[in-house]
Amino acid sequence: MSAQMYTLAELAQAIGAEVRGDPELTVDGLATLQSASSTQLSFLANPAYAKYLSSTRAGAIILSEEAAERYQGNVLLHANPYLAYARLSHYWDASVPGSDSPIHPNAIVDESAVIAANVRIGPGAVIEAGAVLRDSVIVGPNCVIGRDSELGEGSRLHASVTLYHGVSVGKRCILHSGVVVGSDGFGFAPNAGKWEKIAQIGGVIIGNDVEIGANTAIDRGALDNTVIEDGVKLDNQIQIAHNVTIGENTAMAACCAVAGSTRIGKNCIIGGASGIAGHLEIADNVHITAMTMVIKSLKDAGVYSSGTGVQPNDKWRKSIARLRQLDQMASRLKALEKLVKSRD
């Protein structure tokens, strides 16, 4: 398939940029400063990469006003080069399928399902009774849409996504391969040394413009719904337990886990491999750094961390040995303080 080609003038108009250089120059892709060819567009967002401006072969570069002063080639001038790059990346996104086969003959679609206009359904997909697929939905190969579940306008499921029954997904959402939404929450009642299963009769509600990474699992609620609000971004291999609520525009990096009934606020950033215990409240605008364990509610905005930084193994072993002595050392310190006060 031939690459899509655009002039700098066309791209500038699309993102509200200014062309410095040849507006009729045609580019056919995006690349880094180090690897770009003369027919490709690049960008500079991180000052650490400014050193490549003098050697890049890029046909044009997206630059801020300040950076553009140091570059003599073709420029798309934009106040936020990284945002401009993000928007232009969709012009060369090869993952969007063509529209030549709207519903594959090997897909299984229940006659009671509601399929709107421009919907595409891949081979091996199963659409169960009462499911609703709104306009321009894309369902990849081998996906399963459970009964009475709904996909909002323009949403896309990549291959092998599973939506259990009674799941609602909003508009323009992207769910990557292996995502499971609406599986049972981890609910069991102890009974004479055994565990008795609690039926999980809530659902999952996912808002608009949500993206969920590969192999992430979101459990259905035990009674009320699990809720993922508008604009949330979840990375790969994340576990969201039953009855969790994640507020608008919160982003969570890979391998995090959130236990049941915790509420996470708006505009939070959760670093990779962090764990959040159940029945907690996380305020809006909280930033939790990677590998943090949260065991109490965080009621104020700010940056929170736990754990220790990496060290050479021999130094780490000494640090841990000292850490284990802290309680004993604290007791000795209190005894010394009492002794000093008794002599005053």
- pLDDT tens digits, 131-176: 999 999 999 999 999 999 999 999 999 999 999 999 999 999 999 9
pLDDT confidence of residue 97: 65
Q: At the fourth CATH level, which superfamily is domain 108-304?
A: Hexapeptide repeat proteins (2.160.10.10)
Hey, how many other C-beta atoms are within 10 angstroms of the C-beta on 79? Answer: 10
The DSSP code sequence of 63-99 is E-HHHHTT--S-EEE-S-HHHHHHHHHGGG-TTS--S
Sign of the Cα torsion 22, 23, 24, 29 reads positive
Domain definitions of the chain by residue range: 6-92, 108-304, 316-343
* Contact yes or no for 186/219 (Cβ under 8 A): yes
Q: Is 104 among the catalytic positions?
A: no
Topology given in CATH for the domain delimited by 6-92: 3.40.1390
pLDDT confidence of residue 95: 77
**Residue 236: DSSP 8-state:** S
- Which residues in the chain come in under a pLDDT of 70? 1-2, 96-101
pLDDT confidence of residue 1: 43
Q: Which of 161, 140, 132, 144 is nearest to 108 (CA)?
A: 144
Supply the pTM of this predicted model.
0.89
User: Which residues are bridge partners to 162 per DSSP?
Assistant: 144, 180
Beta strand 217-219 with 239-240: parallel, antiparallel or unpaired?
A: parallel
Catalytic pick from 176, 242, 279, 287?
A: 242
What's the number of CA atoms in the CB half-sphere (13 Å) around residue 331?
A: 4
pLDDT confidence of residue 98: 57
